[in-house]
Structure formats: structure tokens, C-alpha cells
Amino acid sequence: MKAPRALPLAAALLLLLAAAQPAAQEGPHTIPRAVFVGDRATLIVPLPGFQERGGAEAGDTEVPADRLPSSPYADIHRVAIERRPGGARLAVEFAAFSPGIIELPPIEVAGQVFSGLRVEIGSVLGASEPPVLSPPAMPLAVPGTALLVYGTAGAVALALLAASLASLRGRAALRAWLAAWRRRRLLGAMLRAERRMRKALAKGAAPREVLDALSGEFRGFLEGLTGESCRAMTAAEMAGLGIPECADGASGASAGEFLGGFFGRCDGMRFGGRAAGEGEALEMLDGLRGFLDGLGRAPARAGNSA
């Protein structure tokens, strides 16, 4: 009579083990599961093969606040390896400010580097209960509206007529002029940013902060120049950008070599924790200035060679 009574207990034990198995094999996930722009969430990455002296009694290993990595898409508030009886796990506490699938920067903790971590961020505009907007306000009659509307329509008509009468060469010349104007505008903005960084460095700003800001400005400039998404590119990817060949006046390196070396040094200081001195920062600013000067001369040389 005892054996039949043990069967329900064995069946219940098997059900509990089966229910606990998925949790033990759970992969990377966020807490909470659904993360929206601006939410503070934690990415949990199980580390089943993580081995370090001390085991679960060693406690958590946290990255100091001054060595937390930075990302153009999220603010990272805490990085730690948490040791639990069920195994170690990587915890990254962050707040994203860009929707979609974003990739976190490489994270170094406990002598290991974790890269390729991605999280999906939702937009509050796509929530199941969107905010209710108030009815649109009644249009106001602004004095001079009719003149503005008819004047704009006339100007558009004249522009369309002039475009239709222009020859193919005229349109090509107009496109070339617009491209050259946009290029000069981007170069001028980047040169002003370079001078601004020099002034900040001369006033005692930290070289690493100056180079971090300069890296962001330079990536935005290259994105506008090439049309490529340069914000999350690695140094090797930046070296492969389609930049017209122009020599860096200081080193004589090609555009690809200069970009790869420049962003490699910036990433080494940002993610590798390497300190930067004022002399190195001035050297990188000089290299950037030579690159921009060479890039500004490239269209004139191309036109002369043609």
C-alpha cells in the first residue's frame, strides 16, 4: 500500500523540476520585460561558465562609476557581476533614449569584456493605451496670409518653370554647386568645433572629456558627409568609409588610415580606461585639423585633375 501512495509525490516532484528547468536555462533578458524610452531597466545576462575565485561567497563585482562605459543611445548607471546560488550573471542597469534595437558598448568587468549586448526599446507612442489628444484648435486668420500663400505659389511656379527650361548640364551644375555648398558648410562647422575643443583644453578641461566630445562631433560630421550611420561604427568600420583620398598634412596617412587610428585611440580611452594627457589631445587635434584641411582641398585638386 505504500508504493501507490508514493506515486503522486513522485509525479509532483517531476512537475516541479520540469517547471524549474526553463528558468534555469533562461537567456539574456531585461527587467522589466517591456522597456520603453526613458525607462530605467536592467539587462540580465546569465554566465553559466563564469569561474572566479571566491564563488558565491565573494559577493558582487561592480564597475566603478567613473569607469562606466558611455553610449550615444543610453545612459548606463550600473554594471556588475552578481553571484547567486544558481550561478553568476551580468547585470547592466541603463535608461535608453532611442527606440528600436540598440547595442550597448563593450563592457569590461572582472577581467572579462562583454560585447554585442543588444536590447529592444519600445516607443511610448506604440503603447496599447496611447494618450488622448485634445481636439485641434480652430484656425486663426493671420493678416497677410493670402499674400504669403499666393506669393509662395508664384515663386514655386517660377522655380518649376526655370527648372523645366534649364538644360541637363545646368541641372548637373546646380547639383554640383549644392553638393559643394553643403560640403563647405559641414567642414566649417567641424573646424569651429575643433577650435572650440582647443579653447576648452587651454582652459583646463580634462583631455579625456575633450576627446570624447570631439569624437562625437567628428562622427556626426562624417555621417553628414557620407550619408552612413557612423554613430555606432567601430574604428575598423570607420577606416572603410568612402572618404575621398586626401592626405593628412601631419602624418601623410590616407583617409582610411587616419580615421581608423583616430577612432581607435578615442575608443581605447573611452572603453579601455586608458588615460589621455594634454599633449596627446593636442596631437590628435592637430591631426584632425590636417585631415580637415586636406579634405577641404580635395575637391579643388579633383577638379584640376579632371
Alpha helices in 131-251 (DSSP H): 145-165, 168-202, 207-226, 235-239
Q: Are residues 202 and 286 in the same domain?
A: yes
Q: Are residues 216 and 299 in the same domain?
A: yes
pTM of the model: 0.40
**Phi/psi zone of residue 216: left (φ > 0), alpha (ψ -120 to 50 degrees), beta?**
alpha
Is residue 167 domain-resident? Answer: no
Question: How confident is the model over 26-77, as pLDDT tens digits?
Answer: 688 899 888 898 889 999 999 887 765 444 456 788 888 888 888 888 889 9
What DSSP state is assigned to residue 77?
A: E
Predicted pLDDT at 219 = 86
Q: Are residues 189 and 299 in the same domain?
A: yes
**Averages of pLDDT over each 10 residues, the chain, 306 residues:** 50 49 64 89 86 57 88 89 85 89 88 87 64 62 74 88 68 77 88 89 85 86 84 81 56 71 81 74 87 75 38
What residue numbers bound the domain in which 100 lies?
25-121
**Number of neighbouring beta carbons within 10 Å of residue 48:** 10
Is residue 75 domain-resident? Answer: yes
Is residue 72 domain-resident? Answer: yes
Q: How many angstroms separate the Cα of 129 from the Cα of each of 2, 98, 180, 190?
A: 57, 20, 48, 43
Is residue 134 domain-resident? Answer: no
State the total domains in the chain. 2
Q: Are residues 109 and 194 in the same domain?
A: no
Residues 6+ away with beta carbon under 8 Å from 110 = 52, 61, 81
Q: Are residues 185 and 292 in the same domain?
A: yes
Q: Are residues 199 and 110 in the same domain?
A: no
Compute the 3-state secondary structure of the chain and give helix, strand, coil in percent, each to the nearest 5. Answer: 50, 15, 30
Is residue 239 domain-resident? Answer: yes
Is residue 44 domain-resident? Answer: yes
Q: Are residues 102 and 189 in the same domain?
A: no
Domain-terminating residue out of 83, 106, 121: 121
The grid coordinates listed for 5 are 501512495
Pairing label, strands 87-96, 118-121: unpaired
| Opening angle at CA 270, ends 269 and 276, nearest 5 | 30
Is residue 153 domain-resident? Answer: no
Is residue 222 domain-resident? Answer: yes
Q: Are residues 271 and 193 in the same domain?
A: yes
Domain-terminating residue out of 104, 121, 138: 121
Q: Are residues 197 and 280 in the same domain?
A: yes
Q: Are residues 290 and 202 in the same domain?
A: yes
Predicted pLDDT at 251 = 41
Q: Are residues 205 and 284 in the same domain?
A: yes
Q: Are residues 197 and 285 in the same domain?
A: yes
